[in-house]
Amino acid sequence: MELGLRNNVAVIVGGASGIGKAIAAAFAAEGTQVALLDISGGVHAAANDLGGAGWVVDVTDFPALGRVAEEIRTRLGRVDHIVFAAAIGSGKFGFPFWKLDPSDWDRVLKVNLVGAANVAHAFAPGLAEQRSGTMLFLASVAGQIGSQTDPPYSASKAGLINFAQCAAKDLAPFGVRVNCLCPGMVKTPLNRSVWQTWSDRQPPEARQDYETWAAEKIAKLVPLNRWQTPEDIAAMVVFLASERAANVTGQTVNVDGGYVMHW
């Protein structure tokens, strides 16, 4: 399907690996120039693989983000699409939530929610000025169902969904569309860390290896009974960025194998 994204410029935040890198690859396959931002130095190699450019930046550092945004506009001429795919978990199994320490919330919220707001602040004025473009935030089904596994992560993603709606309303008069995408069960380091934190709290006789744990969870929770892949997520992201989704804004789109169904 021709999506009309050739010669556009897409900025993928959290693009060095995992879902973010798959999204960058999907844009590049459409002929889009990609700019990858990540806290990891691996962002340069990932960008080179795709014929793009990479910047090392922490999304919690707004002044640094502002400088990078300006450098991208100067170097590439414009920005058409912003994808926020950076995220962390608390690294702890949160059930019940009071087993966590209140300090476990701080960094998660700063990266997953405040970091997204920082990115929006850095790039939205340029999109509004050119009166075109899209912005997409990668949230999670955990932000819709109140997952008890990692309450700080779940809350940050719920906040992200709400912020995307606020941003969509603000940017709509400028012809800029904003959406949220919620993956389900995807094999990523973050997903594996959820298993690890669960496993660490189990008695030896109750522990399962990652594949067994995940297979049981998928069979129980995912009607299509299969993993979602980074490429599944990326395909929806580029569609939402295209003019084929010209009337889609302020929406939360799930790519989750049916994990979450709203009636």
Residues with a catalytic annotation lie at 153
E-strand ranges in 52-176 read 53-56, 81-84, 134-138
The DSSP 8-state label assigned to residue 243 in this structure reads G
Round to whole Å and give the CA distance between 35 and 45.
12
Q: CA-to-CA distance for 207 and 87, rounded, in angstroms?
A: 27
Phi-psi region of 18 (alpha: psi -120 to 50; beta: other; left: phi over 0): left
CB-based contact 90:19 (threshold 8 Å): no
Tell me how far apart the alpha carbons of residues 83 and 255 are, in angstroms, rounded to a whole number: 16
Q: Burial-class residue 209 by CB neighbours within 10 Å (0-12, 13-18, 19+).
A: exposed
Provide DSSP, 173-213. Answer: GGT-EEEEEEE-SB-SHHHHHHHHHHHHTS-GGG---HHHH
Secondary structure (3-state) at 2: coil
142 alpha carbon, distance to own chain's centre: 13
Integer Cα distance of 42 and 18 in angstroms: 12
Rg (CA), the chain: 18
